[in-house]
Chain A
């Protein structure tokens, strides 16, 4: 079983992922018998898509502080919900989800 999701990188994060701002992915639906969640996706991105400088994306088992994560349960709807309202890394992914990673680190 697999999930079809899309990820979007903004605020300069696309530079770490082959300079492509959006990617359509197929990832396993489960990991170690548990449904794939956002934490799993973050490490999957590190292992399969990240082209450079892991420390700019991941820190202490989650995204680096300063990276905002939004979840669009309807891809392309333009809204998106803060992952803090969905349980952060424990949010279980569904097919059709759009996950947006926005780096707010280079401010000003």
Chain B
């Protein structure tokens, strides 16, 4: 009979035996011959079996969405409608994604493509004519972060056969960048202390860097700043993909990163976007994807930009093993830390999920699979002008009912006759409303030394200057939209409007 509750210091046998991290034996579960090299969610794989397993998961997540219609029972050749853009951050997932795309679809690696064939096989013809790698440098949003653009460029050029498009985070506030991709907008700013988030035109004279830093510094919490940076990066990459006639945008979000993104997104109010966090099809026009007058069954009708995460079934540990065994150089991503700032929801969630994955690796996979089954309630009423994702009907009214609000005695600001006044809040999704307005009981630290923060004049990303199409509004021939603005009218203008109805003194 064993003695329980023994003194583990004096008696080593009283210690509970450590739980094994793998099932059954140390031999590969696939070939059952080679000794295992790696443990993936309790299953042991040798290096020779691990590599085709990775490529299978990668292709399974990507290839069904390449053609305009998802593949049915009979697989057809891969024929995308446009080009491919790879969102590259320099992190481990992006590095693995870039490597897999290059090995499979740009310069097919015969060692990877073994005994499969058929007309759809990538070795027969290059799938995407143009492959573009887009990198957004965020160092200017921080005070002590290094600029990695040159290292990233070296990584991309080492592969060859791919174009490199570097962006900077402040391009989101740069009219000239917006014009360079063939669009026009009015730079706007908002009053973050006003609950309706009244907008006015941004005065000239601010550089994109100043506007970006002013935007970040004005946000109320560290979570809001991180969320905003992520949104700015994503939307920049989306519009770059559109400008380069891409039909597909792939991101290097691994299973682990996706779990972090889903849980933290739900934590700060993004539950309605759970499906978009995993995969989405995005159109730049504001009424959610319908191309005016296009016949629905037209085979040549272009689909929206498909944003796919092909590594969503591949954990961070598998990515790490891939980088080592393929000899990849990982530039790395520096942490998003501002001096004196407490960790935001994203950082805390990441620490939790990474810790969970170490002890309970299958749970991370369960999180993603469960979130993939969620179908948020409610209907969609347009697209958020900030993050370009669906707006849940009634979110603003619901927020008004559940939150403490203050009512100012003067509801309209005093503006000159030429001012533009429009409420931003009514065109935002719940996540973006929370990002802009949710305040912490503690004052937010100032992220940049000697920086004057003025939340009443917070610059907005340039794409917000494309206001939503009014209900029943006209579409211009070039696919643009009417821009409806509201402004106080002068007495002379008001008289002109009603003059035909005025009674004369006669």
Residues in A lying within 8 Å of B, measured CB to CB: 10-12, 15, 65-66, 68, 70, 78-82, 84-85, 88, 100, 102-108
Contacts and interface: CB of A to CB of B under 8 A. Distances in A.
Interface in B3-34: 21-22, 26
A104 B324 contact: no
B332 A11 contact: yes
Nearest to A80: B324
A106 B317 contact: no
B358 interface: yes
Contact of B92 (A11, A79, A81): A11
Contact of A104 (B47, B320, B355): B320
B323 A107 contact: no
Contacts of A108: 89, 91-94, 251-254, 257, 333
A65 B351 CA distance: 8
Given A66-B316, A102-B324, A104-B319, 8 more contacts: A11-B332, A68-B317, A79-B325, A82-B36, A82-B321, A105-B316, A107-B91, A107-B93
B321 A68 contact: yes
18 contacts: A10-B323, A10-B330, A11-B330, A12-B332, A65-B357, A66-B358, A68-B321, A82-B321, A85-B26, A85-B36, A102-B323, A104-B256, A105-B354, A106-B91, A106-B333, A106-B334, A108-B92, A108-B333
Interface of B: 21-22, 26, 35-39, 44, 47, 89, 91-94, 251-254, 256-257, 316-317, 319-321, 323-325, 327, 330, 332-335, 354-355, 357-358
Contacts of A66: 316, 354, 357-358
Contacts of B21: 84, 88
A82 B318 CA distance: 11
Nearest to A69: B320
A60 B155 CA distance: 35
Residue in B251, B319, B327 whose Cβ sees the most chain A Cβ within 10 Å: B319
A106 B335 contact: yes
B92 A104 contact: yes
Residue in B92, B257, B330 whose Cβ sees the most chain A Cβ within 10 Å: B92
A65 B94 contact: no
A92 B89 CA distance: 38
Contacts of A106: 91-92, 332-335
Nearest to A11: B330
Nearest to A86: B26
Contact of A107 (B22, B36, B256, B334): B256
Given A65-B358, A85-B26, A107-B92, A11 B37 contact: no
